[in-house]
Amino acid sequence: MWKFLLKFILYIGVPVVLVLAFPLYVYWQAREFTSVHDAITTQAASSSALFGIGYDYASRAYKEAMLAEKPADVVILGSSRVLELHQLFFASSTRLVNAGLGLPDMSRLPALLNDHPAGSEPKVILLGIDPWMFKPGEETVNIPQQVTLGDRLWAFVSGAWRTVYSDYFLFHKFGLGQLAAARSTSSSIGINALINDEGFMADGSELYGRRGELENYVNVVAPQAIEQMRASVASDRADFDFGTSTSAASLRELNIFLATAEARGIHVVGFITPYPHAVFQQLMSVHDSYAQEAVLLPAVLNAFFTHYNFPFFNYMDAASAGIPDSEFLDFQHVTDKGALRILIAMAQGDSTLRAYVSLPNLKSLLAHTPDAFIDPADLK
């Protein structure tokens, strides 16, 4: 039996090792196994380093670690829709942490505040609210993460190694020479960051790739996605972000968060993240309970913020912040130029926030950005 078992192990083991060797090499070259803490440390040492792992998901853990480890004057909380607010938009003396994607649901809000010991909390929190966060039954987004080395190895063995093969041989997404060259010249972490220049910057905001990629988003992806969403909203609003009522549980958590922030002297600026005007118009043209909720929700949220003397801005219709539909990457994410418009509008409306930006500089940046997005080279 033992001789058979030994032969069997060699029979199976040798090919398995040979098969896994290539993807393991790619993982190592791309620094895919880097922990979120090491990533934050690397970015602190090299501000141009991006965190963009390609085969695992650790964004929430990364943002939570950032909140706990990086001191900040201004913190941005929300989903991926707030990721285009960059350090560049704030005064040079302002320390920014963009923790977008670190908020899976409202119940995490109070805990995120607790990550900061008393005295080290931010002065201002910009809270980007997406309507789905208040849609009963759908208030949570729980994407499984691969944070620890064990998680990543398991994900690798379970199937991620196959994706490496298909990415290399089938879809030609990267070359080995290209990867080696990127690794030697950049301290970015992850294959997405090294190959596509896509990932989280040192301030936590997102870089969506190079100029060509952004042009594709803005000129091709976004118009199709917006039209598809507009048509979808026209036919069945149940799949959209709004429900027909507001989640009481989410409102409770928001209230706890605002009360705690007030007690700790943190100024919170709330805003509803924008939809393209075409989509918003479509929703408003249908006079049903979904459209009603789209009107009621901002009013309800405004009352909560006002109660604590915090400002609240409703940018559900992108046009209300002066954002044209051409400044969208898809049907729900604005470009950084769109995000800049939101920040300018909020800073104009809130004196506390205004102290952390330079309005003239922001307006100048806006005026001198001819494209629908800020050139990524300028951001890095």
Partner 1 sequence: MLFNSFSFLIFFPIVVVLYYSIPRRFRVYFLLLASCIFYMAFVPWYILILFFLIGIDFFLGQAIEKRTGHARRVLLVVSVISNLGTLFVFKYLNFFDANIAALAHALHWNYSLPLLSLVVPLGLSFHVFQSLSYVIEVYRGKWKAERNFFVYALYVMFFPQLVAGPIERPQHLLPQFRAEHQWRDENAITGLERMLWGFFKKMVIADNLAPIVDHIFGTVPHNGPVLILGVVLFTYQLYCDFSGYSDIAVGTARVLGFEIMENFNRPFAARSIADFWRRWHISLSSWLRDYLFTPLLWLWRGAGQLGFYASLLVTFTLIGLWHGANWTYVVFGALHGAYMVIGAATQKWRNRFAELIGLVRLPRLRAALQTLTVFALVCFSTLFFRADTIGQAFTMLAHMADHLAQAFSVSFWWREAPGLMGLSARGAKVYLFLLILAIIGMEVLQYFQEKKATLLVWAKWPSWGRISWRYAALAAIVFFGYLGATPFIYFKF
Question: Rounded to an integer, what distance in angstroms lies between the CA atom of residue 109 and that of residue 253?
Answer: 7
Among 18, 118, 143, 170, binds partner 1 (CB under 8 A): 170
102 contacts 70 by C-beta, under 8 angstroms: no
185 binds partner 1 (CB under 8 A): no
Among 137, 171, 239, 367, binds partner 1 (CB under 8 A): 171
Whichever of 18 and 377 has its CB closer to partner 1, that residue is 18
Quote the least distance from Cβ 248 to partner 1, whole Å.
25
Quote the least distance from Cβ 128 to partner 1, whole Å.
30
Q: Which among 128-136, 151-159, 224-232, 322-330 is the span making contact with partner 1, rule CB under 8 A?
A: 151-159
Q: Which among 90-98, 163-171, 272-280, 288-296 is the span making contact with partner 1, rule CB under 8 A?
A: 163-171
Q: How many residues bind partner 1 (CB under 8 A)?
A: 16
Whichever of 170 and 377 has its CB closer to partner 1, that residue is 170
Question: Rounded to an integer, what distance in angstroms lies between the CA atom of residue 338 and that of residue 117?
Answer: 34
DSSP 8-class letter at 96 = E
C-alpha distances out from residue 179 to 27, 125, 190, 213, 361, Å: 10, 38, 10, 19, 37
Among 13, 71, 136, 159, binds partner 1 (CB under 8 A): 159
Strand ranges in the chain using DSSP code E only, listed in sequence order: 74-78, 96-100, 124-129, 198-200, 206-208, 267-272, 312-314
In the chain the first and final C-alpha atoms are separated, in Å, by 61
4 binds partner 1 (CB under 8 A): yes
Token code pair at residue 218: 């803005």
Site for partner 1 in 320-339 (CB under 8 A): none
Question: Rounded to an integer, what distance in angstroms lies between the CA atom of residue 188 and that of residue 283?
Answer: 41
Site for partner 1 in 16-35 (CB under 8 A): 16, 19
Q: Which residues bind partner 1 (CB under 8 A)?
A: 1, 4-5, 8, 12, 15-16, 19, 157-159, 162, 165-166, 170-171
